[in-house]
């Protein structure tokens, strides 16, 4: 088990930064706000690294901080007054034809829209398992839930996604 002295903040940012930014973006749907949350998360990680007990992986601990920071942002009065910016559009692969690139982009957008339309308790599980690639145990720790609850929510979330995606893609 590693202790806080075994972790350097620069290494943590380099190793887990993309996961934090992706998770934040999936919650807040605005790349600029996600970047602000990214900074807040790593400030919190740096300030509280000494409290990391090793009961989970460092990635799980950091993503839990990310999820909680996103939830706090979403609940904040500032967020409710903000006008959302245009959605972040992913770069398409160069080798694709223009039609394939547009179709791929629309499919990704449709899937993201369906995921973000899920109730928060289902969306969180989907984001942890599929976007952050956490195991069931890591997801349970990140969301502070029993593993059985994570499994059942994941199954229900998949059902709801399947229902909402029928006929859309």
On whether both 135 and 64 belong to a single domain, the answer is no
On whether both 127 and 162 belong to a single domain, the answer is yes
Domain endpoint, select from 88, 109, 143: 88
User: CA–CA distance from 75 to each of 28, 35, 66, 93, 163 (Å)?
Assistant: 11, 18, 14, 36, 28
On whether both 67 and 83 belong to a single domain, the answer is yes
Domain endpoint, select from 64, 88, 112: 88
On whether both 108 and 118 belong to a single domain, the answer is yes
**Average pLDDT per consecutive 10 residues, the chain (169 residues; last block may be shorter):** 65 93 88 93 93 88 92 72 46 50 68 82 87 87 91 90 73
In angstroms, the CA 28 to CA 15 distance is 22
On whether both 48 and 12 belong to a single domain, the answer is yes
Helix or strand or coil: residue 49? helix
* Long-range contacts, 31-34 (Cβ 8 Å, 24+): 31/85, 31/88, 32/85, 33/73, 33/82
Range of the domain at 77: 1-88
* pTM > 0.85: no
pLDDT at 28: 86
On whether both 66 and 117 belong to a single domain, the answer is no
On whether both 2 and 65 belong to a single domain, the answer is yes
Specify the number of domains making up the chain: 2
Q: Residue for token digits 């300030």?
A: 47
Which structure tokens are listed for 2? 């590693």
On whether both 9 and 23 belong to a single domain, the answer is yes
On whether both 99 and 62 belong to a single domain, the answer is no
- CATH number of the structural domain spanning residue 61: 1.10.1740.10
On whether both 95 and 69 belong to a single domain, the answer is no
On whether both 123 and 158 belong to a single domain, the answer is yes
pLDDT at 101: 61
pLDDT at 37: 94
């Amino acid at each position: 088990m590693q202790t806080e002295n075994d972790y350097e903040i620069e290494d943590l940012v380099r190793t887990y930064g993309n996961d934090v930014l992706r998770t934040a973006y999936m919650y807040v749907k605005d790349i600029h706000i996600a970047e602000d949350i990214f900074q807040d998360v790593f400030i919190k990680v740096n300030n509280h690294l000494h409290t990391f007990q090793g009961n989970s992986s460092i990635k799980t601990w950091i993503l839990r901080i990310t999820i909680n920071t996103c939830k706090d942002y979403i609940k904040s009065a500032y967020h409710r007054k903000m006008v959302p910016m245009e959605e972040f559009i992913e770069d398409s692969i160069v080798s694709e034809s223009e039609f394939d690139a547009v179709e791929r982009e629309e499919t990704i957008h449709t899937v993201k829209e369906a995921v973000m339309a899920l109730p928060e308790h289902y969306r969180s599980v989907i984001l942890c398992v599929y976007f952050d690639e956490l195991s069931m145990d890591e997801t349970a720790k990140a969301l502070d839930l029993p593993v059985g609850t994570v499994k059942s929510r994941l199954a229900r979330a998949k059902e709801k996604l399947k229902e909402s995606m029928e006929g859309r893609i």
